[in-house]
């Protein structure tokens, strides 16, 4: 129970940090402006993205909104059904949902565009991203880990049944 509460609080903190940083960047940077944050590593560069990663589905706001809402609803339903037995699943879904809400807020209130500002200087072709994107990627990674762990547990359980039965 405590882990679930902490995961939800963490999601709220991430959502707040995402919205605050996006507000700061959009209020204090000129569009396209780039400032070194960690020299040689990360620049802060203000852009707005009307698509998803690498600009895919650019300008397709309704499709992106629909996909985001459907994915979040599926994950929340899955978590409510199976999350009682897995802290990993609860944390993964909390991250994906908080990041999804962060970018959803942008799409709804910024004309279909998401504020992005984190740019890896040493990897120029990597997309510029934001805190919500980081939460979604980490959450998705944890979801993959959850499914791997769950599959291994099921496999062991089935082996034990076969050996004992």
Residues with active-site annotation: 116, 133
d(Cα 103, Cα 129) in Å, to the nearest integer? 11
Q: What share of the chain is helix, strand, coil (3-state, %, to 5)?
A: 70, 15, 20
Structure tokens at 15: 């959502």
Euclidean distance between CA atoms 51 and 60, whole angstroms: 7
SS3 43: strand
Kindly tell me the burial class for residue 76, based on how many C-beta atoms sit within 10 Å of its own C-beta (0-12, 13-18, 19 or more).
Answer: middle
């Amino acid at each position: 129970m405590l882990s679930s509460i902490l995961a939800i609080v963490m999601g709220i903190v991430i959502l707040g940090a995402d919205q605050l940083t996006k507000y700061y960047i959009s209020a204090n940077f000129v569009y396209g402006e780039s400032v070194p944050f960690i020299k040689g590593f990360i620049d802060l560069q203000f852009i707005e993205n009307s698509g998803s990663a690498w600009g895919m589905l650019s300008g397709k706001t309704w499709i992106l909104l629909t996909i985001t809402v459907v994915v979040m609803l599926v994950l929340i339903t899955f978590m409510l059904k199976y999350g009682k037995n897995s802290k990993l699943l609860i944390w993964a879904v909390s991250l994906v949902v908080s990041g999804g809400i962060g970018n959803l807020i942008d799409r709804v209130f910024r004309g279909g565009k998401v504020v992005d500002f984190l740019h890896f200087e040493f990897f120029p072709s990597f997309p510029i991203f934001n805190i919500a994107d980081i939460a979604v990627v980490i959450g998705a990674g944890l979801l993959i880990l959850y499914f791997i762990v769950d599959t291994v547990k099921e496999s062991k359980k089935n082996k034990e049944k076969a050996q004992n039965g």
